[in-house]
Structure 1
């Protein structure tokens, strides 16, 4: 039997085109209109974020964060090597030096215990990336940030609707802990708008300036609120606002966030139940995440080596099932390897060679997961 299971399939709730049509008919399809405000308010009220600004991508949100903390040439920014290039590019564009940290042995997140030795007098910020939506060790990261007076910018691209429990028992949404955070609504994420993102401003010192940067360096938003009698160019900025069409699409998704999350968590659990015992018998790692810390963004395997991963991917491909690897370590990339300080980051390189992602999207069926799991087992015989 021929299957046709893509790696990802964007889910439509049924309201997207209706809201897009409404936005078009309103006569305002540029940014910061009705749907933009609805989406931003949703996040502020549901998760207690101080201030939210929709952006055209998570990349843009990270670039805004780099501007907000006044990143200068020579500043050092600590982040994991095992992440998407946008995490680093946002700061490289401002002239910063990226200091890469290794991942944990049991999780692709940054090894928080390795951070302090990387801090120098030039360090300006730590950028933890919540891989697969799972929170980094924010207890240790925030303690270091306070000790050395550093900014923390959460790359929460994959972390929507997930939480972190501190050692004192306090639970906070991911993206609400650092001074700033960035989310993604790319079509591969849980909640989508095709391309899209959001900057979360948790530290109130950045509130006013964030809006100016967002509005191309002008005080236009303040003008339309009647807070100034004219507006002009007052700071750095760029065209970071998404159109109302993107925001309208996103609003249809946010209305169905709970349903989408319930479905994704069911599918994630189906994978776990199908593969957990088998994976352990053949030495393959799978994510073991407490239910309260799992937003079901991704289900991945960590193979024993590159050859095993390639074999599984090719076998699934022969069955018309698309699985993919993920990041290539940034410290060894063609662009940055000569700028890297030469430290070996073995866990990051191990994930580069061995981590593979399985299909996970709303319309995937339990039967599909059964077949994918069966073929993975067959591929290793």
Structure 2
């Protein structure tokens, strides 16, 4: 077998400032969280994207779990979300006793099909959780209209959606994560900006702001105490240790400083893939990602959707033969071992199709033009 250059699926990008800021955080003597770097990160996101309030968390999973507590999910409540998503989207609500009502994906992309949501609403429905797959906006105009009409909460799972926007029917451009009552972001090492593990809860509905801080600080009013708003702090609500250390926040701050540069490079890679694969997609009858008119592209991932599982496996093996590692993504949660007996709905054919046919290509900052060209030519079987 020929000795090909290994091209992995993901490689975490380091800006060079991470260890400098981590050293500074350690030297400050304040490394347990909610210090200088936590504040810098939170204020940056609030100012840049118009988020009402941000709280860094140790993961996007934690942010979603905080959201479930904030909207007071009770056993028997129903939460509508796509089946084609990561398990954390569901787990956050299942842990509070909710029943998950899975909706199908759109024929155009893996996002929830907004036209399928209303028929799933019952007297027990508490929330809708749209997932902005690949950083591409769900139809938030339709989702918010339904939510407002039925008095439901909307929690945006924006794990993949940093620096991406929704363009409303009114032409107004809003950052993903700023539209729903609450939103959750991820800074896992596979995301556009990273802190290894890490996440963020966004609170857009101010009724949740004070309680969010309490839940974030293990159910105590510790944050208010340090601001001098109360003369002592104690246990006032349920909560957990959701806030990250200053080490994580310092790492993230180094990434935030380079966000614009990172985005320029990722979009360049995305565009090279798209241009190089357009004709092949037409010839081989697979689909490239489409950016709808109501969305922007943050170049979180580049994926292909084949006709079948077999066609996808052929592509995976062809790439692997040249030491290129492409991967599939989610398995439909309604068919998972844990939830298949609990799913009361019918077939979700588009979700299953993406589970069987979607392939993610390598996407990371240090992927060179030559690497992308090699991946394209390999897919062309050249």
Mark yes or no: TM-score above 0.5: yes
Secondary structure of the equivalent of 1:350? helix
Q: Say yes or no: does 1:107 pair with 2:109.
A: yes
Deviations along 1:291-310, whole A, 9 cap, x unmatched? 96100000000011101111
Give 3-state SS (helix, strand or coil) of 2:127's partner: strand
Structure 2 counterparts to residues 64-143 of structure 1, below 5 A: 64-143=66-145
CA drift at 1:37: 0.3
Choose 274-283 or 112-121, whichever is displaced more: 274-283
Match of 2:376 in 1: 373
Structure 2 counterpart of 1:308: 311
Partner of 2:330: 327
Q: Structure 2: 5+ residue runs without aligned partners?
A: none
Structure 1 unaligned spans of 5+: none
Q: CA-atom RMSD, angstroms? A: 1.0
- Whether contact under 8 Å (2:102, 2:345) holds in the other structure is no
Give the secondary structure class of the aligned counterpart of 1:378: coil
Runs of 4+ off more than 4 Å:
none
Deviations 1:2-38 (A, max 9, x none): 1110000000001000000000100111010000000
Match of 1:317 among 308, 317, 320: 320
Match of 1:241 in 2: 243
Shift of 1:290: 5.9
Mapped partners of 2:277, 2:77: distance in 1:
44
**Counterpart selection for 2:33 from 21, 24, 31:** 31
Corresponding position of 1:294: 297
Structure-2-length-normalised TM-score: 0.98
Q: How many residues align?
A: 379
1:347 & 1:290 partners in 2: Cα distance?
18
Q: What secondary structure sits across from 2:380 in the alignment?
A: helix
User: How far apart are the structure 1 equivalents of 2:70 and 2:305?
Assistant: 37
Question: Mean alpha-carbon deviation: is it higher for 6-15 or for 276-285?
Answer: 276-285
Cα distance in 2, alignment partners of residues 280 and 97 from structure 1: 41
The answer to whether residue 255 in structure 2 is matched with residue 253 in structure 1 is: yes
Per the TM alignment, residue 72 of structure 1 is displaced from its structure 2 partner at its CA by: 0.3
Is residue 2:153 matched to residue 1:154? no
Farther off after superposition, 305-314 or 193-202 = 305-314
Query: Does residue 173 of the first structure (1) align with residue 175 of the second (2)?
Result: yes
Q: Distance in 1 between matches of 2:231 and 2:26?
A: 29
Task: Give the match's secondary structure for 2:340.
Answer: coil
| Offset, 1:288 | 2.0
State the TM-score, normalizing by the size of structure 1: 0.98
